């Protein structure tokens, strides 16, 4: 078997070629097959030969129209050859199995075998049989049996070729960033200009905004779409936007902006969406033991669950990033990104830290502040109605409520994350966070201090950038250096990261979201090997 | 005793009718100042991240309170009515004490459980002239979730100790969730005089044991 890994990732409309792994055939009609495991082997001319496995990417780009159009020259059709034995058979019989309608075989410009018509006979001869395989979806696992037949229809030799589409992977925070996106909104006298400018100033053209007027002023860019990908052994990849069934103002955005050649957009499920169908509630850990692509985690709880069961069925079946649930029933919005995340840190044992909100860490900062410190951003009925630090720290009702949040929710979730992911104590960072009850939300909770764990991670190859909600725990709103909460966060997060504290107050914080909720990141697919031991769910 | 009768005992007699009359006549004021109704009729109502509606409109001031209350009373949409309540609850925190009877009455008697919950939650940091009758009225409500909300807020109210007797009286509530919330609220209020009653409640209902342990710790007793 030979495999020459491609060092570069070809993306967005490039040829999605197969990896033809010419190897020992798993023939059933002959016992004298050549052993072609030796490096440099050429196919044994005596026996029927073909690749052991053909890898491909699902033909989901262009809104999956290409599958319907049936174009023989489409990039996603993966060519491979069957080399006949020296016998020169009268015909070949192809039999496709292991798939319903998710793979099909092409020959000479025509579809010759599908899940519905799995068997076909083609003319034999001495020339290699040129075939192509096309996959409809991720993680497709099929087998093509190729038989050489004589003039009487008797089988001379046969081989099996495994047909394998890349599993679907969701991005994690250690993958390089390529682009950050957010909606530019202005609604009822409030706008997110400060956050948009903060991004643009920090990363320039690597930030793009969507027009809020076009998308009904929907600011929750994280929630409508989830970036994922498929990748092949040669490094070629298909980007994918999973389009949530949430379908609020940004509903058309994935199709408008991302669908195209080499870029797929797909929705699993339909109908009523709960808040848990938003993709701020669908996150992935960095690689951990036994999970080289990380693990998916999402929020659910009694009475709180994603309704897009098809999507979550797919994710559950795709054990490569084996998902687990976290209780979010104590939150108004109910998304896992509201209180925890992962950030890169080259000084950490495995290159990352797990960050989770902590009430004691917040009070440690607040209690040390001068109680007379004015808090102009928190003052007033439209905000949180705390004029000074003293009012905040002396609010015993708030304090005992947060103690309960810590004991009842944050502590158990931290322990669960440690257990599920095998985290080390030194990998855990406690980030200050306070919560308050939301009366119009069944007395569940949302961040009182802007949720700073609700952050964006982006490394464009020049080091880690963390985009974090500005906590505004200071009197001079224009002087972040005077903010002790910012200082505490800087001390807690990796020193190598560049921290950008963005003003997300009016549009996001008061709408019960923060920076991560209002942004999304396109990342470079991970070239990590999933194929050698086929980590896919169907194996 | 029904809720209105209870409120009648808790509130000054003049208060009960006064704010209702003001609200009923509120739109008449728009004849002289059309902007009052313009703002309320074209109010900034947003969806939060969970898809729930809330008021976010910097034009809104206490002067809009009667018109906004009038609009809420006329509103039948199940999303809009609580949304309007979020705006009203904000204004109540700025309004003078003459509006406290309205706040209390809405918390205790509004037909919508969501609307009651909004006003109850805001009573946590309200003056006792609003919080006292509002929370006590809500604790007597027939809806268990409203009683739960009231008990929860009582324990964390700025004057939490003033509600300890009310909470002790609710320890034998018919609803298990309310009883659990009452025990927690007594812990939040941290008045050691409630310790014996909490211990007795655990003897009657061992489901309260964990909650009681934390409550007794907060009271500073074993």
- Same domain for A104 and A184? no
Tell me which residue of B108, B107, B113, B150 sits closest to B3, measured CA to CA.
B108
Tokens 């904000």 belong to residue: B90
- Residue with the bigger pLDDT between B23 and A199: it is A199
| Residues contacting B212, CB < 8 A, separation 6+ | B183, B198, B199, B201, B202
Characterise A443 by phi-psi region: left (phi > 0), alpha (psi -120 to 50), beta (else).
left
Give me the domain span that covers residue B167.
143-222
Nearest-angstrom CA–CA distance, B66 and B33:
13
Cβ of B52 within 8 Å of Cβ of A187? The answer is no
Full strand arrangement of the beta sheet holding A263-266: A169-170, A225-231, A237-243, A263-266
- Same domain for B155 and B63? no
Nearest-angstrom CA–CA distance, A401 and A356:
18
Mean pLDDT of chain A: 89
Task: Tell me the pLDDT tens digit for each residue of B142-165.
Answer: 999 999 999 999 999 999 999 999
**A7 within domain boundaries:** no
- Same domain for B4 and B99? yes
Cβ of B90 within 8 Å of Cβ of A381? The answer is yes
Cβ of A440 within 8 Å of Cβ of B86? The answer is yes
Task: Tell me the pLDDT tens digit for each residue of B4-21.
Answer: 555 555 555 445 558 888
Cβ of B49 within 8 Å of Cβ of A189? The answer is no
| B46 close contact with A: CB closer than 8 A | yes
- Same domain for A340 and A297? yes
**B154 within domain boundaries:** yes
Tell me which residue of B29, B163, B11, B40 sits closest to B98, measured CA to CA.
B11
Nearest-angstrom CA–CA distance, A223 and A243:
9
Residues of chain A with pLDDT under 70: 1-45, 100, 536-539
- Same domain for A131 and A205? no
- A420 by Cβ neighbours in 10 Å (0-12 / 13-18 / 19+) ranks as middle
Please give the backbone phi and psi of residue A373, each rounded to the nearest 5 degrees, phi first. -60, 120
Give me the domain span that covers residue A415.
170-523
Cα separations (Å) of B58 from A141, A469, B18?
57, 22, 28
Interface A-B: count of C-beta contacts within 8 A:
103
Task: Tell me the pLDDT tens digit for each residue of A47-87.
Answer: 899 999 999 999 999 888 889 889 899 989 999 999 999 88
- Same domain for A136 and A275? no
Query: Quick one: pLDDT band at residue B191, thresholds 50, 70, 90?
Result: very high
What is the β-pairing status of strands A141-149 and A91-97? antiparallel
- Same domain for B29 and B84? yes
Residue of B40, B48, B86, B103 for testing the chain A interface, max A β-carbons within 10 Å:
B48
| B129 close contact with A: CB closer than 8 A | no
Question: Among A114, A143, A165, which residue terminates a domain?
Answer: A165
The C-alpha of A251 sits at a distance from chain B's nearest C-alpha, in angstroms, of 14
CB A472 within 8 A of CB A504: no
**A1 within domain boundaries:** no
What ipTM describes this predicted complex?
0.92
- Same domain for A130 and A203? no
- Same domain for B100 and B29? yes
Which residue among B90, B121, B152 places its CB closest to the CB of A382? B90
CB B138 within 8 A of CB B172: no
- Same domain for B18 and B93? yes
Task: Tell me the pLDDT tens digit for each residue of A144-186.
Answer: 999 999 999 999 999 999 999 999 999 999 999 999 999 999 9
- Same domain for A198 and A74? no
Confidence (pLDDT) at B10: 56
Nearest-angstrom CA–CA distance, A337 and A173:
13
3-state class (DSSP) for residue A526: coil
- Same domain for A302 and A185? yes
CB A466 within 8 A of CB A460: no
- Same domain for B104 and B158? no
Which residue among B46, B59, B91 places its CB closest to the CB of A187? B46
Task: Check which CATH number belongs to the domain holding A102 and give it.
Answer: 2.60.40
Tell me which residue of A224, A229, A221 sits closest to A171, measured CA to CA.
A229
Question: Among B63, B92, B111, which residue terminates a domain?
Answer: B111
Residue of A397, A401, A509, A513 for testing the chain B interface, max B β-carbons within 10 Å:
A397
In B, which residues are within 8 Å of A278 by CB distance? 49
pLDDT mean over B74-102: 95
- Same domain for B11 and B107? yes
**A535 within domain boundaries:** no
- Helix H segments across A166-304? 193-203, 221-224, 253
Q: What percent helix, strand, coil does chain B show, rounded to 5?
A: 75, 5, 25
Nearest-angstrom CA–CA distance, B22 and B35:
18
- Same domain for A224 and A357? yes
Give all strands (DSSP E) within A202-339, no chain letters: 207-211, 225-231, 237-243, 263-266, 282-284, 296-300, 324-327
In B, which residues are within 8 Å of A441 by CB distance? 48, 50, 52
Confidence (pLDDT) at A20: 33
Question: Among B111, B126, B155, which residue terminates a domain?
Answer: B111
Cα separations (Å) of A99 from A68, A79, A114, A118, A143?
18, 19, 8, 9, 8
In A, which residues are within 8 Å of B52 by CB distance? 332, 440-441
- Same domain for A175 and A147? no
Token representation of residue A167: 């599993």
Confidence (pLDDT) at B3: 55
Nearest-angstrom CA–CA distance, A217 and B45:
12
Tell me which residue of A125, A124, A83, A76 sits closest to A102, measured CA to CA.
A76
- Same domain for A366 and A515? yes
| B213 close contact with A: CB closer than 8 A | no
**B211 within domain boundaries:** yes
In A, which residues are within 8 Å of B48 by CB distance? 332-333, 441, 511-513
- Same domain for A147 and A180? no
- Same domain for B72 and B152? no
**A11 within domain boundaries:** no
Task: Check which CATH number belongs to the domain holding A457 and give it.
Answer: 3.75.10.10
**B127 within domain boundaries:** no
**B129 within domain boundaries:** no
**A243 within domain boundaries:** yes
Task: Check which CATH number belongs to the domain holding B151 and give it.
Answer: 1.25.10
Nearest-angstrom CA–CA distance, B162 and B128:
9
What is the β-pairing status of strands B53-55 and A464-469? unpaired
Confidence (pLDDT) at A189: 86
**A82 within domain boundaries:** yes
Nearest CA in chain B to A386: B125
- Same domain for B70 and B6? yes
Which residue among B46, B94, B152 places its CB closest to the CB of A381? B94
- Same domain for B42 and B98? yes
Which residue among A190, A275, A400 places its CB closest to the CB of B50? A275
- Same domain for A202 and A260? yes
Tell me which residue of A54, A59, A80 sits closest to A164, measured CA to CA.
A54
CB B9 within 8 A of CB B140: no
Domain tally, chain A: 2
Domain tally, chain B: 2
- Same domain for B92 and B149? no
Nearest-angstrom CA–CA distance, A208 and A196:
9
Which residue among A335, A439, A506 places its CB closest to the CB of B89? A439
**B92 within domain boundaries:** yes
| B48 close contact with A: CB closer than 8 A | yes
The C-alpha of B178 sits at a distance from chain A's nearest C-alpha, in angstroms, of 14
**A143 within domain boundaries:** yes
């Amino acid at each position: 078997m030979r495999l020459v890994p491609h060092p570069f990732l070809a993306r967005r409309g490039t040829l999605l070629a197969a990896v033809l792994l010419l190897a020992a055939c798993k023939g059933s009609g002959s016992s004298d097959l050549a052993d072609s495991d030796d490096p440099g082997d050429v196919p044994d001319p005596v026996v029927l030969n073909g690749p052991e496995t053909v890898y491909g990417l699902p033909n989901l780009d262009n809104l999956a129209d290409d599958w319907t159009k049936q174009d023989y020259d489409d990039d996603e059709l993966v060519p491979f050859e069957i080399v006949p034995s020296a016998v020169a058979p009268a015909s070949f019989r192809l039999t496709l199995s292991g798939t319903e309608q998710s793979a099909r075989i092409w020959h000479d410009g025509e579809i010759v075998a599908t899940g519905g018509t799995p068997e076909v006979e083609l003319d034999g001869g001495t020339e290699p049989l040129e075939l192509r395989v096309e996959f409809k979806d991720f993680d497709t696992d099929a087998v093509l049996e190729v038989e050489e037949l004589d003039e009487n229809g008797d089988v001379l030799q046969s081989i099996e070729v495994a047909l394998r589409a890349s599993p679907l992977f969701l991005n994690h925070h250690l993958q390089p960033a390529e682009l950050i996106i957010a909606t530019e909104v202005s609604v009822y006298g409030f706008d997110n200009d400060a956050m948009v400018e903060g991004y643009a100033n920090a990363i320039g053209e690597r930030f793009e905004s969507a027009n809020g007027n076009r998308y009904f002023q929907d600011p929750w860019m994280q929630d409508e779409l989830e970036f994922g990908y498929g990748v092949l052994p040669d490094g070629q990849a298909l980007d994918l936007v999973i389009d949530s069934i949430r379908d609020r103002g940004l509903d058309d955005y994935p199709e408008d902006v991302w669908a195209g050649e080499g870029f797929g957009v797909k929705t699993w499920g339909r109908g009523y969406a709960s808040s848990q169908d938003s993709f701020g509630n669908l996150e992935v850990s960095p690689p951990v033991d036994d999970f080289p692509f990380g693990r998916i985690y999402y929020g659910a709880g009694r009475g709180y669950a994603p309704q897009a069961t098809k999507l979550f069925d797919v994710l559950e079946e795709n054990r490569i990033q084996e998902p687990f649930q976290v209780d979010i029933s104590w939150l108004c919005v109910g998304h896992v990104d509201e209180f925890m995340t992962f950030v890169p840190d080259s000084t950490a044992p495995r290159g990352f830290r797990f960050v989770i909100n902590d009430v004691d860490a917040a009070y440690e900062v607040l209690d040390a502040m001068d109680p007379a410190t004015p808090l102009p951003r928190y003052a007033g009925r439209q905000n949180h109605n705390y004029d000074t630090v003293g009012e905040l720290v002396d609010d015993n009702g708030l304090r005992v409520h947060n103690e309960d949040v810590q004991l009842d929710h944050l502590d158990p979730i931290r322990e669960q994350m440690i257990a599920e992911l095998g985290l080390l104590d030194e990998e855990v960072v406690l980030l200050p966070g306070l919560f308050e009850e939301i009366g119009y939300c069944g007395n569940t909770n949302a961040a009182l201090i802007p949720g700073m764990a609700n952050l964006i991670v982006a490394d464009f190859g020049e080091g880690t950038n963390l985009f974090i909600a500005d906590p505004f725990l200071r009197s001079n709103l224009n002087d972040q250096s005077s903010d002790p909460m910012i200082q505490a966060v800087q001390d807690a997060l990796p020193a190598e990261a560049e921290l950008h504290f963005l003003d997300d107050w009016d549009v996001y914080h008061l709408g019960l979201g923060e920076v991560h909720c209002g942004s999304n990141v396109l990342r470079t697919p991970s070239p990590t090997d999933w194929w050698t031991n086929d980590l896919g769910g169907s194996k | 005793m029904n809720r209105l009768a209870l409120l009648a005992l808790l509130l000054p007699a003049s208060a009960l009718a006064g704010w209702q009359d003001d609200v009923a006549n509120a739109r008449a004021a728009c004849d002289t100042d059309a902007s009052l109704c313009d703002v309320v009729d074209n109010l900034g109502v947003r969806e939060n991240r969970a898809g729930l509606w809330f008021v976010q409109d910097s034009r809104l001031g206490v002067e809009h309170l009667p018109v906004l209350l009038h609009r809420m009373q006329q509103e039948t949409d199940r999303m809009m009515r609580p949304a309007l309540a979020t705006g009203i609850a904000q204004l109540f925190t700025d309004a003078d004490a003459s509006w406290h009877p309205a706040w209390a009455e809405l918390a205790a008697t509004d037909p919508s459980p969501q609307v009651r919950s909004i006003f109850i939650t805001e009573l946590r940091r309200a003056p006792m002239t609003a919080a006292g009758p509002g929370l006590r009225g809500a604790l007597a409500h027939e809806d268990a979730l409203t009683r739960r909300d009231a008990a929860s807020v009582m324990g964390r109210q700025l004057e939490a100790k003033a509600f300890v007797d009310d909470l002790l009286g609710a320890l034998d509530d018919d609803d298990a969730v309310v009883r659990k919330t009452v025990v927690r609220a007594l812990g939040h209020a941290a008045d050691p005089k409630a310790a014996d009653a909490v211990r007795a409640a655990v003897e009657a209902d061992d489901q309260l044991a964990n909650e009681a342990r934390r409550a007794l710790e907060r009271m500073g007793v074993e």
